[in-house]
């Protein structure tokens, strides 16, 4: 009973605290959109008034006074405005504290003048700030921009809260859950920590959707009331100064406010929290948490020793992985990375786009080298060909170096291990230079024998060969060292017995050497597959995936998506897919290693 209560408590705590965070983010984004809508509408009214005043010949100081009067009459005295003229490069009016006007613009205020030049004749600019929303609108006289009015809207137009309904609903659900646990058998109660978080997330998601619809309409009504107050004040000030204004009131961008919170994305986020809460609840209710705690209590010294490594792994491996995993469910880019998680959440859309991309080109069109399955195929061919050649060459070199009585064997070993000892960054750049179409040593050697130089990076096949040659050069020494060490451990008596029985050299190799090398080579091959699958340096530095990305492997493609296309969410999903592929391969690795251990026993 106690364990079940703990599971429900912590699972609901995760769901409710996460839901409060998402709703707080949604409310903040909604309020920013509301502030932006009011800032744009106010700036439009002030610019309309200022343009008419300048056309009528009123002085800049009078126009500035009129703008301040509009804000006062409409109850927006907390909003700060500046009137800047283009031709005189002058700050003509301002209600900023301590900002004396009129005066010439200072050098540090050049961005204000640049903003005037960047504004279209009929248009505005809106930027979110820490203080509220910053909007700028041009002053237009005779079809020409003569200046601008800039306003920072700091007053909040409050809408109904998004969180209070959830708070009371969560408290009620928690009480009902605890009462329900007292009435069900313990075995059935163990599932409460799994089912309740999902149920709470589902119910809260639907309640939140209904709440969003009602609160959005109330907020829009409040915004329209505020916009009308500003417009009425602007028209009253115009009349009192003898100006005749034409046209409708400044339009409020209601679409910006209505679309500020995506209810579907928010509901998906809450369901994701429900799944996370269910995992935590299952971890506690089915005894995994108590087993972990018991192990900590029974072996405190051992865990103290491994704590530094564990903390390092958490900070450097697990947290980045978890962050990337969550990021993969968003459409985060360079442009929207400051938005809330709920606004960027797209669920499984990135995975569907990656795995559902079957656009291979063809039928008269160029091949789509950016297709995921093309890149996956190239990665598999790259991995298999590199590992096969690396193992074959390494094993061949090891057999040669293991010949009894071979002179200079120490020198040969030193020379053959150098490619592995040299940093692969330097090796990759060296091979890239050797494959240079005009000045590379390989093309010069081809020409010396009467051949034609090869444009290595202009076709798929030759470009693939450049990376393959470089990586095989880097990898065969590792296999050679592993195989040579295993060969020297093989008992010579087995070969002697085989020769007496009439076994040929090939039979000795196939029936004695290879089985003896298997325990050492198999783990090395498994590790080599993972290294080669993610061999970023060689592809990126030698061929750069040319031509047109045809020779990209998955890891370099993920890098380009993230740091050249700036699609961080999509790149994170790409990386998770790579992880899943290697995890499937890891299952094979564990089984193969276990089989080897069993054979050794």
Map tokens 């003898």 to a residue: 242
Angle between the N-to-C axes of helices 409-421 and 460-487, in degrees from 0 to 180, rounded to the nearest 10: 130
Instruction: Report the SS3 class of residue 362.
Output: strand
pLDDT category at 539 given cuts 50, 70, 90 is very high
209 phi/psi in degrees, rounded to 5: -60, -45
Query: What is the full DSSP assignment across 64-81?
Result: HHHHHHHHHHTT-TTSEE
Instruction: Report d(CA 535, CA 75) in Å as an integer.
Output: 64
> Is the per-residue pLDDT at 185 higher than 80?
no
Residue with more model confidence, 283 or 166? 283
Is the pLDDT at 104 greater than 60? The verdict is: yes
pLDDT at position 495 is 82
pLDDT higher than threshold 80 for residue 472: yes
Of residues 543 and 599, more confidence is placed in 543
298-344 pLDDT tens trace = 888 888 888 899 899 888 888 999 999 989 998 998 888 777 676 78
Query: In the chain, what are the domain boundaries?
Result: 58-153, 361-566
pLDDT at 111 over 90: no
The reported pLDDT for the residue numbered 105 is 83
pLDDT above 70 for 546: yes
What single-letter DSSP state applies at residue 148? Answer: E
Query: What does the pLDDT read at residue 473?
Result: 92
pLDDT of 122 over the 50 cut: yes
**CA atoms within 13 Å, Cβ hemisphere of 338:** 6
How much is the mean pLDDT over the chain?
Answer: 81
In the chain, pLDDT over 90 holds for what percent of residues?
Answer: 17
* pLDDT higher than threshold 70 for residue 594: no
Determine phi and psi for 103, rounding to 5 degrees: -165, 160
Q: What pLDDT is attached to residue 128?
A: 64
Three-state SS sequence of 456-505 = CCCCHHHHHHHHHHHHHHHHHHHHHHHHHHHHCCCCHHHHHHHHHCCCCH
Task: Note the pLDDT of residue 598.
Answer: 47
Region 206-213: mean pLDDT is 68
Looking at residue 334, the DSSP 8-state letter turns out to be: T
The CATH number corresponding to 58-153 among 3.40.50.720, 3.20.20.150, 3.30.450.20, 3.30.70.890 equals: 3.30.450.20
Which tokens is 212 given?
């969003």
Q: pLDDT grade, residue 72 (50/70/90)?
A: confident
pLDDT value, residue 387: 93
Q: Which residue has the higher pLDDT, 495 or 132?
A: 495
Report whether 231 contacts 45 (CB < 8 A): yes
Q: Where are the alpha helices (DSSP H) in 359-423?
A: 372-401, 409-421
pTM, 2 dp: 0.64
For residue 219, pLDDT over 60 is answered with yes
Domain 361-566 has CATH 1.10.3720.10: yes
pLDDT of 593 higher than 70: no
Look at 187 and 72; give whichever has higher pLDDT.
Answer: 72
Confidence of residue 379 (pLDDT cuts 50, 70, 90): very high
């Amino acid at each position: 009973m106690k364990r079940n209560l703990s599971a429900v408590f912590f699972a609901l705590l995760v769901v409710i605290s996460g839901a409060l965070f998402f709703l707080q983010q949604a409310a903040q984004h909604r309020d920013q959109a509301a502030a932006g809508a009011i800032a744009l509408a106010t700036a439009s009214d002030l610019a309309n008034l200022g343009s008419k005043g300048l056309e009528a010949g009123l002085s800049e100081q009078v126009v500035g006074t009129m703008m301040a009067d509009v804000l006062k009459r409409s109850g927006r005295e907390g909003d700060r405005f500046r009137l800047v003229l283009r031709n005189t490069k002058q700050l003509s009016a301002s209600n900023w504290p301590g900002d004396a006007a009129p005066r010439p613009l200072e050098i540090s205020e050049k961005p204000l003048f640049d903003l005037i030049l960047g504004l279209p004749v009929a248009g505005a600019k809106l930027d979110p700030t820490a203080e509220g929303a910053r909007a700028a609108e041009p002053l237009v006289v005779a079809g020409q921009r003569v200046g601008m009015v800039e306003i920072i809207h700091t007053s909040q137009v409050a809408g109904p809260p998004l969180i209070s309904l959830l708070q009371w609903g969560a408290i009620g659900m928690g009480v009902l859950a605890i009462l329900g646990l007292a009435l069900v058998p313990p075995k059935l109660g163990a599932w409460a920590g799994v089912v309740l978080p999902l149920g709470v997330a589902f119910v809260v998601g639907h309640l939140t959707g209904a709440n969003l619809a009602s609160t959005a309409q109330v907020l829009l009504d409040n915004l329209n009331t505020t916009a009308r107050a500003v417009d009425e004040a602007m028209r009253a000030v115009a009349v009192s100064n003898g100006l005749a204004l034409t046209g409708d009131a400044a339009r409020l961008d209601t679409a910006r406010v209505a679309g500020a919170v995506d209810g579907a994305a928010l509901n998906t986020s809450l369901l994701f929290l429900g799944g996370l809460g269910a995992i935590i609840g299952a971890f506690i209710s089915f005894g995994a948490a108590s087993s972990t705690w018991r192990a900590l209590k029974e072996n405190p010294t051992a865990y103290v020793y491994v704590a530094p490594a564990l903390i390092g792994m958490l900070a450097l491996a697990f947290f980045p992985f978890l962050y990337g995993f969550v990021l993969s469910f968003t459409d985060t880019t360079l442009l929207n990375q400051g938005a809330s998680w709920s606004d960027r959440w797209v669920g499984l859309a990135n995975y569907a786009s990656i795995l559902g991309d079957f656009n291979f080109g063809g039928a008269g069109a160029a091949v789509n080298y950016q297709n995921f399955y093309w890149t996956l195929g190239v990665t598999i061919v790259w991995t298999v060909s590199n590992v096969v050649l690396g193992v074959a060459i390494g094993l061949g070199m090891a057999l040669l170096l293991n010949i009894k009585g071979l002179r200079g064997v120490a020198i040969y070993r030193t020379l053959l291990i150098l490619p592995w000892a040299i940093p692969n960054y330097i090796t990759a750049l060296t091979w890239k230079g050797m494959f240079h179409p005009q000045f590379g040593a390989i093309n010069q050697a081809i020409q010396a024998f009467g051949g034609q130089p090869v444009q290595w990076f202009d076709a798929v096949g030759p470009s693939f060969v450049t990376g393959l040659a470089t990586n095989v050069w880097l990898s065969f020494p590792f296999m050679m060292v592993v195989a040579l060490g295993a060969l020297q451990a093989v008992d010579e008596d087995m070969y002697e017995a085989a020769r007496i029985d009439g076994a040929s050299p090939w039979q000795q190799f196939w029936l004695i050497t290879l089985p003896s090398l298997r325990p050492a080579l198999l783990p090395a091959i498994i590790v080599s597959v993972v290294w080669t699958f993610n061999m970023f340096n060689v592809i990126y530095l030698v061929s750069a995936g040319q031509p047109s990305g045809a020779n990209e492997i998955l890891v370099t493609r993920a890098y380009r998506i993230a740091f050249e296309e700036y699609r961080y969410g999509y790149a994170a999903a790409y990386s998770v897919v790579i992880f899943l592929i290697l995890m499937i391969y890891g299952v094979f690795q564990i089984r193969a290693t276990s089989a080897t251990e069993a054979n050794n026993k």
